[in-house]
Amino acid sequence: MTSGTVTAPARTWTAVCGYDDLVPESGAPALVGTDQVAVFRTHDGAVYALSNHDPFSTASVLSRGIVGSRDGVPTVASPMHKQVFDLRTGACLDDPEVRVTVYPVRVRAGRVEVGSA
């Protein structure tokens, strides 16, 4: 008989850049395994990571988007068609049925690390 406890797979962390290399209010592309990721630093120093793939244009361009906020929500607007995505959840604020993948991100010893399963 099993206890019903489920163990989550171990997370792998990939260092993608130095924290100070990320300019506030901008993004940078990174490769995490085989995933293209967009890493962002906001004006308050928070760091976020999303898929770099824009689901509307199908181009890998979100890292070049415009970082800002909408109603207090940190966002990035696609440079292609200007759809806005919540940096915390990946939800498209202009089309609630669309979202992009969000990656766990942390800063350790001055390095930005993105997690993958």
Domain with 57 in it: what CATH number?
2.102.10.10
44 in a structural domain = yes
Q: What value, to the nearest 5°, has the Cα angle with vertex 25 and ends 23 and 26? A: 60
Looking at residues 84-98, what average pLDDT do you find?
97
Is this structure's pTM higher than 0.85? Answer: yes
Instruction: Tell me which residue range forms the domain holding 74.
Output: 23-103
74 in a structural domain = yes
Quick: pLDDT tens for 37-51. 999 999 999 999 999
Q: Tell me the DSSP string of 80-112.
A: TT--EEETTT-BBSS-TT-B--EE-EEEETTEE
